[in-house]
Each structure stands twice: as structure tokens, then as C-alpha cells.
Chain A
Amino acid sequence: EADIYQTPRYLVIGTGKKITLECSQTMGHDKMYWYQQDPGMELHLIHYSYGVNSTEKGDLSSESTVSRIRTEHFPLTLESARPSHTSQYLCASSHGYGYTFGSGTRLTVV
């Protein structure tokens, strides 16, 4: 039973397109995160939010942007997709030190 939902699950898109990856959680967690994971590599934090209207860049530089207008919703946007953005994007939320992860979006930019 997933309490954090990511859509789409898979996305293949052409270079230059604008895309938004959706992430929603039903647990009322204040803290939400976006991680990027290249194949066979570790996860890296690219964005996080500690509450509504609060967003920060993570440890790994990313050309994506995020917004947090509602507690439950933390979408990630790429204004102009490039092949270098091909990766898996994982959303997570936390309360205290307990984490919940989404199923991820596997993005391929051709």
C-alpha cells in the first residue's frame, strides 16, 4: 500500500520538451525530497522541502526546479529536457527519521 505516489512511472520524451514529474503523499509529512539515481549508482539528493513554500537545492546540482504549494504535493519540473537528464527520479517524504519512498519515475530523453 503506497502512501506516496509518483507519476508517470515511465516517460520517454524528446529533447527540448518541458516535463513535470508528480509526487504526492497522503501522510501529512512536512519534509519531502527528490533524489536522482543513474543506473548502478547511488541516490543523490537534488531538492528538498521542509514545508509549504520552502524549497532548497540538494547536494547534486540539477537543472530541475520544484515547488511546494501544498503539503501533500511536491512536483519536479524540467523546462527543457536533454539526454543528460535521462535517469531515475525518486520522491520521498519523512517524519522524524522515518522515511517513505515512492516507486520512482524512469525518465528517458531522446
Chain B
Amino acid sequence: KNEVEQSPQNLTAQEGEFITINCSYSVGISALHWLQQHPGGGIVSLFMLSSGKKKHGRLIATINIQEKHSSLHITASHPRDSAVYICAVGLFGNEKLTFGTGTRLTIIP
């Protein structure tokens, strides 16, 4: 069983819809990362969270440490948001990351 589980694995939505991607983990962590990977492979770091909530433009990330759960929300989704979104966690005292399998998001115009 992977230490980091994401859901859904695939998500297709219409442009403008509110998107939620979930991440659950089974171990104590020092930080959780949300990453975006476009076709072609390059990865962009969206958020790093250790508590609470962060917002950047149309993206919002939340984390509940007690429940070992994080969500990534996209408001007013756009076709350019189509990508794979990856959740990754860093363990205490260890900067190496453990990755989820990703959520493939497709936004249809």
C-alpha cells in the first residue's frame, strides 16, 4: 500500500467548474507538497504546506494534520489547468519525498 494515496486518479470536467483533488497519507510528515506536471514531464511546485491553508491565484491548498489529509482546489477551471497533479510528502527529519501516483485532470472547453 502506497504511503500517499490520491483521488480521483482521473478527473474530467467542464471549463469553469470547481475542482477538488484529495491526498491522504499514512505517516507523520514535516511537509506536504502539491506539484503540477504537464505533458512533456517537467514538474512545477505549486504549494508546500505544513498546516492550514494556502492560496495562489485560482489554486487553494488545505491540509488537516490530524486527519492526515490534504486537498487541492481549483476555482474557475480552465483548459490550461489540464495536467497531472501530484501530492508528495516529506517525513520528519528526511527531506526526501514520497510521491502519490497523481491525478490526471482534463478540463474541456
Asked if B45 and A97 make an inter-chain contact with CB atoms under 8 angstroms apart, the answer reads no
Q: Which of B30, B41, B101 contacts A41 (CB 8 A)?
A: B101
Asked if B41 and A104 make an inter-chain contact with CB atoms under 8 angstroms apart, the answer reads yes
Give the chain A neighbours of B100 by CB distance below 8 A.
Answer: 42
Residues 17-33 of B, flagged 1 when their CB comes within 8 A of A and 0 if not, give 00000000000001101
Asked if B45 and A48 make an inter-chain contact with CB atoms under 8 angstroms apart, the answer reads no
Interface residues of B in 23-51 (CB under 8 A from A): 30-31, 33, 35, 40-45, 48, 50
Residues 36-55 of A, flagged 1 when their CB comes within 8 A of B and 0 if not, give 01000111110010000000
Nearest A-chain residue to B42, judged by Cβ: A103
Q: Which of B33, B41, B48, B101 contacts A90 (CB 8 A)?
A: B41
Give the chain A neighbours of B43 by CB distance below 8 A.
Answer: 90, 92, 101-102, 104
Give the chain A neighbours of B102 by CB distance below 8 A.
Answer: 42
The docked-state distance in angstroms from the alpha carbon of A82 to that of B90 is 32
Asked if B44 and A101 make an inter-chain contact with CB atoms under 8 angstroms apart, the answer reads yes
Q: Is B85 an interface residue (CB 8 A)?
A: no
The docked-state distance in angstroms from the alpha carbon of A31 to that of B88 is 17
The docked-state distance in angstroms from the alpha carbon of A37 to that of B36 is 14
Asked if B99 and A94 make an inter-chain contact with CB atoms under 8 angstroms apart, the answer reads no
Asked if A43 and B96 make an inter-chain contact with CB atoms under 8 angstroms apart, the answer reads no
Asked if A103 and B48 make an inter-chain contact with CB atoms under 8 angstroms apart, the answer reads no
Asked if B96 and A98 make an inter-chain contact with CB atoms under 8 angstroms apart, the answer reads no
Q: A43-B99, A45-B96 are in contact. Are A98 and B48 (CB under 8 A)?
A: yes
Residues of B whose CB lies within 8 Å of any CB of A are: 2, 30-31, 33, 35, 40-45, 48, 50, 86, 88, 90, 95-97, 99-102
5 closest residue pairs by CB, A with B: A103-B42, A104-B41, A101-B43, A97-B31, A42-B99
Given contacts A101-B35, A101-B43, 4 further A-B contacts (CB under 8 A): A37-B41, A42-B2, A48-B96, A104-B40
